[in-house]
A and B are shown apart, each in its own frame.
Chain A
Amino acid sequence: MEMPLWLDAIVAALILAGALVATIGSLGLARMPDFYMRLHGPTKASTLGVGATLVGSMLWFSTAQGSVSVQEILITVFLFATAPVSAHMMGRAALHRRVGCQEKTNGQPWDEMDRLSGRAAQSSSSGESQR
């Protein structure tokens, strides 16, 4: 089926926008100074990046095949549902292993964690990276 030019343009714009956003997300991964700040780029930027690409793909395939293609929406929904969970798990794992964060970070949680879990001086074995 022949694609009208304006639709082609929209699809191209969406895919380019998706690529751009994903690139910025990856750039964040490279540029940010500590683990927790790195977590921000991939969880958001890449979800939207992939999302925009998928919307482009959906538009294109819906016109090319003449029937609505919904798998892309499902991929986007799954991505939005799972990305925060993996970010949360990585954050937790990093907190648990006491991966260091920048000095200037406000409200660092390690003392509190020690108090809550009832272990005070045990951190010397694993905490050298941030204390």
Chain B
Amino acid sequence: MKLFPQQQYWWPRPRFSIFLLVLWLLLVNSISPGQILIGAVLGWLIPFSTQQFWPERPHLHNAGRLLLYLLRLLKDILESNLTVARLILRNPDSLQPAFIRFPLTLTDEFAITVLASSISLTPGTVSAGLSPDRSMLLVHVLHVTDEQELIEHIRNRYEQPLKEILE
């Protein structure tokens, strides 16, 4: 992989630019012409100047389903907080921590990133490493009784939807 890919686009990410513009207007909480101008410049400048860090274009098949995924994730985050809170208040000696290896079927880098983040935000699991060939995610679990079941759970609940949405 070359550090600086040759191809430069003048407006590499139209959708990302619009997203940044909206984000900027929400941040400053105003829609005056000056702010729209600043937002538009930032929305162009940031994708343009960072395009070399994003060698692949993301494939987003279905934005609506991604939103659904995020809502489900939010619900899981709430549950996960209760689970972890209960585990913390319990006697730490009764916990069975483990490192488990999650064999990835995702190949897209962005999809793997989203999966790893989802794992870190949900019940008692933190992703701690990715094998150099990107085939395995190392996950630390705070308390686990059935590792196989946990792997299946992650696969069905997060990886499959992400595969359909992002690859």
A32 contacts across to B, CB distance below 8 A: 88, 92
Complex contact B81–A45 (CB within 8 A) = yes
A127 contacts across to B, CB distance below 8 A: none
Complex contact A95–B92 (CB within 8 A) = no
Question: Within the complex, which residue of A37, A43, A91, A92 is in contact with B92, where a contact is CB–CB below 8 Å?
Answer: A37
Question: Within the complex, which residue of B87, B120, B132, B147 is in contact with A83, where a contact is CB–CB below 8 Å?
Answer: B120
A33 to chain B, nearest CB (A): 5
Interface residues of chain A: helix, strand, loop or mixed (majority)? helix
B117 contacts across to A, CB distance below 8 A: 81, 84-85, 88
Complex contact B80–A36 (CB within 8 A) = no
Residue of B nearest to A76 (CB): B74
Complex contact A36–B97 (CB within 8 A) = yes
Number of interface residues of A (CB under 8 A): 43
Enumerate B112-161 residues with CB–CB distance to A below 8 Å: 116-121, 124, 126-129, 131-132, 138, 140, 142, 144, 147
Interface residues of A (CB under 8 A from B): 21, 24-25, 27-28, 31-34, 36-37, 39-41, 43-45, 47-48, 69-71, 74, 80-81, 83-85, 87-88, 91-92, 94-95, 101-102, 104-109, 116
Interface residues of B (CB under 8 A from A): 23, 26-27, 29, 77-78, 80-81, 84-85, 87-89, 92, 95-101, 116-121, 124, 126-129, 131-132, 138, 140, 142, 144, 147
